[in-house]
């Protein structure tokens, strides 16, 4: 496991997925997507990879720009195996709906990290 500490988030590389932990006030935009993509390429090359977004603290505020799902330089359908959001926060659930709408990537929402671990064991 390797952690990249970016200005607004941490990207944690696991054996077969990337975990994104956004800091308070983070807005995940095209610039951050490009940074995350470069890290993904470094560790996984062209391989498909899962993406986990884990909100540990419901008080933390962060957001993302759904237009990044349509980034012309990148076809997320060809590099992302699944997206999992561990949260009960309504904004995160709404954002996951954007991913479902604009991509063909399988999307899942769990309320606890333990539920995600169970899901991961089945993959």
At 47-106, the pLDDT tens digits run 999 999 988 777 878 888 888 888 777 788 889 999 999 999 898 899 999 999 999 999
| Domain region containing 7 | 2-122
Query: pLDDT per residue over 13-34, tens digit each?
Result: 999 999 999 888 888 888 988 8
Q: For the whole model, what pTM was predicted?
A: 0.89
pLDDT band with cut points at 50, 70 and 90 for residue 10: very high
pLDDT band with cut points at 50, 70 and 90 for residue 109: very high
Edge-first strand order for the sheet with 9-13 is 2-5, 9-13, 17-22, 49-54, 80-86, 107-110
CA terminus-to-terminus distance, the chain:
19
CA 101 to chain centre: 16
Size of the chain in residues: 123
> Which pLDDT does position 82 carry in this prediction?
95
> Which pLDDT does position 60 carry in this prediction?
77
> Which pLDDT does position 35 carry in this prediction?
92
CATH of the domain at 50: 3.30.750.24
> Which pLDDT does position 121 carry in this prediction?
81
> Which pLDDT does position 30 carry in this prediction?
87
Domain count, the chain: 1
């Amino acid at each position: 496991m390797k952690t990249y500490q970016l200005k607004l988030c941490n990207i944690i590389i696991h054996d077969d997925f990337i975990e994104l932990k956004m800091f308070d006030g983070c807005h995940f935009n095209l610039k951050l997507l490009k940074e995350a993509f470069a890290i993904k390429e470094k560790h996984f090359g062209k391989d498909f990879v899962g993406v986990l977004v884990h909100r540990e603290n419901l008080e933390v505020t962060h957001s993302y720009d759904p237009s990044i799902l349509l980034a012309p330089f990148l076809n997320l359908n060809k590099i992302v195996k699944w997206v999992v959001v561990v949260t009960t926060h309504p904004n995160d659930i709404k954002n996951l709906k954007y991913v479902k709408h604009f991509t063909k990537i399988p999307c899942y929402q769990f309320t606890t990290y333990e539920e995600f671990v169970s899901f991961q064991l089945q993959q």
